Every structure is written in structure tokens, then in C-alpha cells.
Structure 1
Amino acid sequence: MTDGGPDGFEAWLRGRVPERGLRSKGASVLQVLLTQPRRVSYGSAAEAAALAGVNVATVSRTAQALGFTGWSDLQQELRARYLSSLSAPDVASAQHTEGELGTASLRRDLESLAVLNRRLDEQLLRTVAEAIARARRTVIVANGSYLAVGSALGHNVQLAGYDASVVHDEAELANAISRVGPDDVVIAISFWRLYQSTVTAAEEAHERGARVFALTDAASPALAAAAEEVVLIPAEGVAFFPSLAPGLAMAQAIAAQLSTVDPDRTRRSIEAAEAQWSRFHLLHRTPRRD
């Protein structure tokens, strides 16, 4: 892969190299990452070490020098960025998924959820929830199938008692971003090959002083620069489809954390919503009142 543009794979990886540079063996590992992303995206640390002519410990140290906790975390983001450079047919070909794709998809989701749980930064979760709680309003930007993640988050933020809207139509998005300011929060949700409209919305919101958070598997430099924080979420699926399960899990985690910021406010909001659900006869079974 030779994508060396400002938003490209090579630029991202070289941008993580510390100012002091890497030792010669670390530089050999970096060269393998740059020149053989497909092999190392799916291989073990031992395979990466063999390709670079170093030992496994050097691979781990290089991963840490690049800002990761170790090889597995580096590989996770490396693969996400490698896959984001491919077309949908190429993604299916690169993955070489064996067996029934339905069960493979479930296994992949379970693996991704385990990675998400292992990498979860609880302070980051609190930061996002508290920002939403303090905001005048929250604008959630999501497109395509990722709208499922945005809709789940927006619905629960509203239930928790806070002003939130989910925007995906581009004209509506332009209008919504034109109204945001320093008192607002914008949450940009996009995975795999990022939607340009989502990145543009994040950039414009940042310019207008809003607090911007990105939920993604591999933020481009442009999206990362616009966001106050990037919440990295595994999104690798099977066949042609990115996984939505980890993104939905994170949306639920943010909503759950938000409910603890002002529990009385959230309780009042849910009670008011419950009354309206009853008034509109929305539920098949009416909850029993003790």
C-alpha cells in the first residue's frame, strides 16, 4: 500500500514515530508495517518479528514507542486502517474468513467487544458523558449503517433528560452545524471508510467552538485534529460489512454513564417519558403500577 497522502496510512504511521526517532531494529519493524500491512494486520507478533529480522520483544517495544500498549493494540488499529484503504470486494478478499459467515460474524463481534472492554478508558467515558450533560445541545452526526449507532445514542441521551438530535441528511447537517457554538457538543460517528460529510461537520463544529468527539475505528488526521477526544472502537466485520455491535455497545456505555451525572434529572425525564408512552398507547403491555 502506497497511500502517502496527508490522510493516508503511511502518514498516520510515520506521524506516530517519536521525535527522537526509532532505534535501527525498531525502524526495521516500522518498515515492515509500512510495506507489508496485509501480512502484519493478520499475523502474530512472532511473524512480524521474523519479517523484520528482530525478536518479539523488539516488536512489542516498537509498538509501545508508537504509542500503543503492545502488539495487539497496534495490530487492531493497523488492520482497521488497512481495511479502510480497500474497496468492499477487496475487504472480503483480504479477510479470508473460513466457515459459515453468520457464525464467523458473531465470533468477530465477541472478539471485538473483548478488545473494546480491554482498551476502555473510563475517564474518557466520563469526559464524553459530562460534556453532553453540560452542553446546551448535542448534535450526533452519523450516516449509512452507522446511523444505527447514532440513533441509539441520541434516543438514550434524550431519555436521560438532555437535548440531542441525530443528523444524517447532508442539507440538514449543514443547517445544524451552522447553528452550533461553544455551548454545544458534536459527536461524529463513522467507521471504515469515513464519510466526508462527517469529517467536514467535525471540522466546522470545531471552528465554531463546539466540543467535538469522534467515535470511530481509525480517525483520519483531519478528524483527529477536529476532535477533542477520539473514542477508538473496533469495527471489523466479515464479508463486506463493518460491525456495528461494538459501536452500539459504546453508545450504551455513554448513555449509562450520562445517567449518573444527574440521577434526579434522568429519573424525572424517564418518568415523564413513561407517562407519555402510556398516553400515546405505545406499549403492547402496560406496566403494572405498584
Structure 2
Amino acid sequence: MSIEDWIRGRQSGRAGGVGAARVIDVLTSQPQFASYAPARQVADEAGVDISTVTRTAQSLGFRGWPALQLEIRNRYLDTMTAQEILTDHADGTTDPVTAAFRTDMANLALATRTIEIETVRRLADTIRRARRTLVIASGSYLAPAIMLAHVGSLSGLDIDYDDVGGTHRATLVARMGPDDCLVIFNVWRLPRDVLAITRVARDRGVVTAVITDRRSSPLAELGDHVVTVPSEGPAYFPSLTPAMSLINAILNQIVADDPERVRAAISAAGEMWQELDLMDDDLKRT
């Protein structure tokens, strides 16, 4: 679906004045510009004030311009190939190392403005209370999936991640029910198997939590909990920093909500590590 069709679809049946129509025209006719321009520039281009841009974003179902722009930007990037994104981001005047740090800093700042804190709290509570949690992802987003599963397990939760897929993943989901939680990480392109297994889990009554860079997508529509994170990287690959920070927040909330269970779990894990002599921590020996 094109950005114009998506915006027109969300606009359908919603009230809006002349100013909102002008903003919509800018968004649909200049999606690349809308993907990066601050609200002031969008307002100037549409011949309206900033408050009209904000109200238009809210009329389309978003908290404000930053959240709507994040969705437009990710949808715009989704129309491009990896090679096209690399070309689009090419800048011979900027140091690549500095650009990477600055991109992640900007992404974190955007995340703090667009992620709803209460949604994160509810997601953390769902994972903490679930009988079993399965985490799935694809590509580089296996990294936050592994972190959530590893630290969550260390904190005393029955949580694991699956990077095998296929019949193995189907077997795991077949054992799940309404007391369980499926956490899905997805960014940029949506693999068919991820969408299919999420739909199956949802049909079985499993609580689904979607962490994605697109709030409006077939996968997000299946989520009982949906958190949208910025993901644009400095080159052709996505930034993992906002997603990793989100996992930090979820785990930190779980620790705060059930500190005694976490203390008992990490104590037991520490004793097991010591019994198996897993760690070479005695630096004085060398």
C-alpha cells in the first residue's frame, strides 16, 4: 500500500477542516519531505500553523506529529531496497562513526517522545505474569529478542526465544494458550512466516506483543500490545538502539514489580555458575 493510500484510508470518515486537508496534501504528495521535515516546515509548506499539523496527526490516530512522522518515515523506507537506502543515506561529508552515534542519539530522543510509557508498563506486566513467554524475531532484531529472553530467564521468568522457525516454532506455539505470551520483533520487511505464526498464536488465545517500527501493519493489527520504535540507521541496516533500550525498560519494570523473585532467581543462577566453575573472575591469578 502506498503512503498516499494509507493516509487516505486513515482519513476516511474522520472530520477535518481546510487546514487539515492542506497538511494531508503535503504528506501524500511529498512523503520523502514529510519523512524528515520538522512540524514547522510541514506547516509552512501547507500554509498553516503548527497546531494544525498536530491536530491533523491526532485526527489520523497518532499522539502528535513525531509519532505520525515516524510511521511515514518507516513506510517510506519500506518502499526502498537496501541498495536504495544506502544511496539515500550516503554522505561523503560526515564521518561515518560520528553519524552512527548521532543517528542513535536522535532515535532515542524520538523514542522518548513517541513511545507510550503505560504501554511499556502493561507489556512488562504481561510478560511477568505469563505462564510461559516465547520471543521470536528475524534478522538483526534477534539481538533484542535474545537479550529479553536471557535476562528475563535470569530474572526467574519462564521465557525463551526461538531462532529456528519452521516446524520447531510451530510445535512451541502449539503448546501455548491464553496464559502465555508471544513477543514478536519485526522491523522493515515482514517475513510471511512471522505473520503466519503470530496469527495462529492469536487464534489460540495467546497474548501477543508486537515490537515494530510500523504502527500500522498486518502484524501490529494482531498485537494485544504494540510498541513502535524508531529504527532508521545511518546506512542500509536498522538501528537496534531504541529496541535495546526498550528491552532495558521492560526488564527494569519487571525487576521493580517483583524484586524478591528476581533476587531469588539471580542468587540461584549465581550459585549454579559457581558450582559449574563457569566464570574466570579471579583476575589476580593472571
Paired AA for residue 127 in structure 1: R
Counterpart check, 1:205 vs 2:201 = yes
Identity of aligned residues (%): 37
Aligned length: 281
- Residue 236 (structure 2) aligns with: 240
C-alpha distance in structure 2 between counterparts of 1:61 and 1:95, whole Å:
31
Paired AA for residue 165 in structure 1: D
For residues 102-157 of structure 1, the C-alpha deviation after alignment (integer angstroms, 9 at most, x for no partner) is 21011110111122223342321221111112211001011111100100000011
- Residue 65 (structure 1) aligns with: 59
Counterpart selection for 2:105 from 110, 121, 124: 110
Paired AA for residue 34 in structure 2: V
For residues 150-179 of structure 1, the C-alpha deviation after alignment (integer angstroms, 9 at most, x for no partner) is 000000110110111101222222222222
Paired AA for residue 58 in structure 2: Q
Structure 2 unaligned blocks of 5 or more: none
- Residue 175 (structure 2) aligns with: 179
Moved over 3 A (4+): 9-12, 53-57, 95-98
SS of residue in 1 equivalent to 2:219: helix
Structure 1 unaligned blocks of 5 or more: none
Residue correspondence of structure 1 range 68-87 to structure 2 within 5 A: 68-87=62-81
Counterpart selection for 2:245 from 220, 245, 249: 249
- Residue 148 (structure 1) aligns with: 143
- Between stretches 276-285 and 55-64, larger displacement belongs to 55-64
- Residue 27 (structure 2) aligns with: 33
SS of residue in 1 equivalent to 2:235: coil
- Residue 217 (structure 1) aligns with: 213
Contact 2:54 2:65 in 1 (8 A): yes
Contact 2:23 2:56 in 1 (8 A): yes
Kindly report the root-mean-square deviation, in angstroms, between the aligned alpha carbons of the 2 structures. Answer: 2.0
Structure-2-length-normalised TM-score: 0.90
C-alpha distance in structure 2 between counterparts of 1:140 and 1:10, whole Å:
33
Residue correspondence of structure 1 range 97-136 to structure 2 within 5 A: 97=91, 98-136=93-131
C-alpha distance in structure 2 between counterparts of 1:64 and 1:140, whole Å:
32
- How far did 1:52 drift? 2.8
Paired AA for residue 156 in structure 1: V
